[in-house]
Amino acid sequence: MRFGTLLLAVASLTSAVNAYWMGDIAHRGYAPFAYSGYPVFRNVRDYGAKGDGVTDDTIAINAAITAGNPCNQGCASTTTTPAVVYFPAGTYLISGSIKPAYFTQLIGDAGSPPTLKATANFAGFGLIDSNPYYTQNLNWKAVNVFFRQIRNFVIDTTNIPAGNAATGIHWPTSQATSLQNIVFNMPTASNVVHVGLFMEEGSGGFVTDLTFNGGATGASMGNQQFTMRNLKFNNCKTAIYHLWNWGWTYSGLSINNCGIGIDMTAGSGKVETGSITVFDSSFTNTPVAISTSWTTTTTPDTAGTLVLENIALTNVPVAVKGPQGTYLSGSTGSTTITAWGNGHKYTPSGPVEFAGAITPNPRPVSLLASSGRYYTRSKPQYETLSASQFISARDSGAKGDAATDDTTALQRAINTAVAQGKVLYLDYGLYRVTSTIRIPPGAKIVGESYATIMSAGGFFNDMNNPKPVLQVGSYSGQAGTVELTDFIVSTQNAQAGAVLIEWNLASPASSPSGMWDVHTRIGGFVGSQQQVGECLKTPGNPTVRRECIVAFMAMHITKGASGLYMENVWLWTADHDIDDAALTQITLYSGRGLYMESTSGTFWLYGTGSEHHVLYQYQLSSTQNIFMGMIQTETPYYQPTPNALVPFPTVSSLNDPNFASSCSGVSGNCAAAWGLRVLNSKNILVYGAGLYSFFSDYSTTCSTFAAGQTCQSRIASIEGSGCSNVNIYGLNTIGAQSMLTRNGQSVAWYADNVNNFPSSIGVFKSG
């Protein structure tokens, strides 16, 4: 008995010594617009959860989530009540759904992920139900669910009878959200009907590092667009089932011992899957890798578009199966699909309907890992570090109260962390800064619950003299690396000269710098002074209110910069007020989205978006060796009232589009923001793109095929004789008549490439 007690004590000591830093660090997060004492960080053990695998922890976990009355049932959305709900290692038995609030992160111990294990009599839709059906509708409109995460868990439904319906995670969600490092364990009985991940709506999004074991379906999903990376499926009847989509990008799938790998057959009389791009993936011991309902007579014409590149097959007899039989044979041995697809292609002219082998993209060596696949890297969670290796921003004197000038204190905290070789922990808060914050080489910054660095004051309000809010590297081409995770950069009030992020660092391709879950949120939240009260939309009125000119540029990658890995980065100018109960639309003017002019290039963009900027969402100029997948854009809702000619004058040194000249002779709404603009660049490899223009002066009547997709004339452009190997898989556009122009001439017309909601091109190669 004494020996057993000793063992227990030793085990407890070992657990404490090896505890994840997040559980040990002092938590000083401050939500300035919640009530005094509002708890940003919650450890479920503090609310009574045991994690012993015996006690029912459902009530205790949900008590941790609801503490402080965050945005739950009946609340439209908010930024005022952020929460991190932390689960130490253990097995948490639950008999009902865990229901995270809006603007909430569920985070388990990264070194020893906790298990959420359902009881045999579990009742609920999802062990984690992130968007419950309290009525016949989702609690939150899925396309407005932003800023949430779930990471580091084991989700276990094996106690639930295999023949009873069960779902691991219910995840109808949109931008700036993520799932990471989650294992789904489900029964493997022949009658199993369990589903690991289920999503039916939304506009995502990013998911990475998930493993699905057993079950009827690993992941059953419908959403506008998504990027998913490093998903493993073992012994599922069907690994992935697509309910519907517009565009989807998969990288690093590993599908093993499943009946079907990817099922694209949903729909009765109409193909519901728009387009899917899969690359750098493997299928093993699976009879059918991909099942599709696409045929040469599919309606709509491009529905069911599929592009495959670098797919390894081992004992997969049928690679692609359709209603008319085997479209692409596999092998009972081993083989690799170099590149194959079906849909419409432009190489560079078209459209040509195709189903067969295609020429793979030429891959620059600088973008590749040693395996020959594109380089990837998951968000660092620093699970091997102790709490003593972190420095707190608020403990260093910064307030984060949205009112105090935190410039000096925040800069001091960053410099101290770098000098001591430690990680800066950006406790939750809104850190108001009145001059540039400089991030030196060697910095590692981790935000708590999307802590926000927010520019303010006259320093940033001159569009003729733009200044960076966050400057990474003190000069263009400075050598070194940084790691930035889980925070937001914003502006307060009029900030016509604010460049939210300026990236100067030149990092080696073998160990690039990284940004994970770092976003720009420009306006539309409490503390921004850019809400309904200041910038309510004014349809039909082209007058620009100066106080609503809120940013010069979201992100600038300068000429000397190189070697940056970006994952789940959303450069968003708000179209609506997140903290307004009616989610009322607002009109804000942000000049430019992401501008990349790095001469040596070497950038990876996984799951990025750029929305509602005046001139363009993505512009690449005289650069090279860029991987992008999937990118997603939206044109400002107010255009063309006013159009893109105002309020930002053309700056030739930034290669701004000159709509006054380029629109000559172009009919329709020409002076509208580009979704993607590529100038004199090479090796620009896009694996999925959703370029959307839903509105014209806040009316959506323009964004249908019946209306002629008249929201804007053009949406993507390739310009200059220096362009080569600008290649796009899975190009999807909405609201634009010309899907793609080259040197001012339309290459692809929307009506030639009709899909279920967008227009789609499977393959474009510029030559």
Domains of the chain: 31-203 (2.160.20.10), 206-360 (2.160.20.10), 518-765 (2.160.20.10)
The pLDDT of residue 14: 39
Q: Which two tokens stand for residue 195?
A: 């589903």
pLDDT at position 408: 99
Q: What angle do CA 482, 485, 487 make, to 5 degrees?
A: 120
> Does residue 111 sit in helix, strand or coil?
coil
On the CB side of 709, CA atoms within 13 Å amount to: 25
Rounded-to-integer distance, Cα 596 and Cα 432, Å? 27
Give the residue among 159, 82, 171, 68 at the shortest CA–CA distance from 128: 171
Q: Rounded distance, CA 583 to CA 600, Å?
A: 42
Give the C-alpha separation, 533 to 422, whole Å.
Answer: 42
d(C-alpha 447, C-alpha 437), whole Å: 15
Quote the pLDDT of residue 5: 42
- pLDDT value of residue 615: 99
CA nearest to 759, candidates 352, 274, 221, 347: 274
Is there a contact between 544 and 642 (Cβ–Cβ < 8 Å)?
yes
Which pLDDT does position 19 carry in this prediction?
Answer: 82
d(CA 548, CA 646): 13
> Could you tell me which of 738, 729, 730 has the C-alpha nearest to residue 711?
738
Alpha carbons 449 and 446: distance in angstroms, whole number: 10
Outline where DSSP puts E strands in 540-588: 549-557, 564-567, 570-573
Count how many Cα atoms sit within 13 Å of the Cα of residue 111 in the half-sphere of its side chain: 16
Residue 308's beta-bridge partner residues? 278, 340
* d(C-alpha 195, C-alpha 212), whole Å: 9
- The residues with which 282 forms a beta bridge, in sequence order, are 254, 312
Helix residue ranges, H only, 509-606: 532-535
Cα angle vertex 312, ends 307, 317, to 5°?
Answer: 90
Q: Please state whether 410 falls in left (phi above 0), alpha (psi between -120 and 50) or beta.
A: alpha
Nearest residue to 206 (alpha-carbon basis) of 754, 664, 630: 630
Q: Which of 366, 390, 556, 586 is nearest to 468 (CA)?
A: 556
Rounded (10°) CA dihedral 525, 407, 177, 366 = 140
Contacts (Cβ under 8 Å, ≥6 apart) of 203:
142, 143, 174, 175, 223, 224, 225, 632
619, 369, 570, 461: CA torsion to nearest 10: -60
Sign of the CA dihedral with 87 first, then 124, 246, and 185 last: positive
Q: Greatest CA span in the chain, whole angstroms?
A: 90
Tell me how many degrees the CA angle 538-539-540 measures, rounded to the nearest 5.
115
Task: Give the CA count within 13 Å in the CB-facing half-sphere of 245.
Answer: 32
Rg of the Cα trace of the chain?
Answer: 25
Q: What does the alpha-carbon distance between residue 216 and residue 341 come to, in Å, rounded to a whole number?
A: 27
With contact defined as beta carbons under 8 Å apart, do 755 and 709 qualify?
no
The set of residues, in sequence order, having a beta carbon less than 8 Å from that of 427 and lying 6+ positions away, is 27, 28, 29, 30, 40, 392, 393, 394, 395, 400, 448, 451
* Single-letter residue type at 396: S
315 close to 285: Cβ distance less than 8 angstroms: yes
pLDDT along the chain (767 residues), means of 10: 41 52 97 97 99 99 98 97 99 99 98 99 98 97 98 99 99 98 99 99 97 99 98 99 99 99 93 98 99 95 98 99 97 99 98 98 98 98 98 99 99 99 99 99 99 99 99 98 99 99 98 99 99 98 98 99 99 99 99 99 99 99 98 99 98 98 96 99 99 99 98 99 98 99 98 98 98
Per the DSSP assignment, residues forming a β-bridge with 728 are: 686, 764
Residue 485, strand partner residues: 446, 516
